[in-house]
Amino acid sequence: KVLIDVPCSELAEELAQSQTKTQVLQDTLQQVLDRREEERQSRQLLELYLEALKNEDSILSKVAGSETVPRKDMDVVDAATSSTGASAKTALSDQILAALKEKPAPELCLDSQDLELVLKEDTQALALALRWDKQKAEALQQACDQELSKRLQQVQTLHSLRSTSKGKKALP
């Protein structure tokens, strides 16, 4: 790197070579450094791609696992309203409701299918089932929506990376 930064005329004098030969030497050194940098960047990109593939496989296996498990725990939960005596019905399981109540960031603990169920739920029924006010239930649904969107974006990015890499493999 130092030899590249030195002016060609000074390097030629120091090496007792012509400026033409010195310029060729500097150009060759620059090409070697450029190639090393490209190789380093390629390795980093490959590592990121492999990590993304591993994450995609883990996400897909979780999704596949959750689809094969029957949802026996889907119960209708009654939550009494305060003054009317009527009851609100929610299709969320006790397990999901417990996670929503107990976890500080429940949207991170639920799988994507459960996040969709929380989003489809009526906000008022959700608030009653959790014994929360409607604003807190709305905030929870928004957090679940953001997390689900983020997960879908990651899957789309991984698919894009995979299709790009498959296209490059097909090139001669």
Tell me what pLDDT residue 75 has.
46
Tell me what pLDDT residue 135 has.
92
User: What does the block give as tokens for 102?
Assistant: 């107990």
Q: 143 has which bridge partners?
A: none
Split at pLDDT 50, 70, 90, the class of 161 is confident
Tell me which architecture the domain covering 94-168 has in CATH. Answer: Orthogonal Bundle (1.10)
Host H or E run for residue 65: helix 19-68
- Which SS3 state, helix, strand or coil, does residue 91 take? coil
Split at pLDDT 50, 70, 90, the class of 168 is low
Those residues whose C-beta lies under 8 Å from the C-beta of residue 1, and which sit 6 or more positions away, are 33
Tell me what pLDDT residue 142 has.
92
Number of Cβ within 10 Å of residue 61's Cβ equals 10
Tell me what pLDDT residue 27 has.
92
- Reported as a single tens digit per residue, the pLDDT across 101-127 is 888 888 888 888 888 888 898 999 888
Tell me what pLDDT residue 145 has.
92
Cut 0.85: pTM above it: no
Q: Find tokens 């890499």 and name the residue.
A: 165
Taking residues 124-149, report their average pLDDT.
Answer: 90
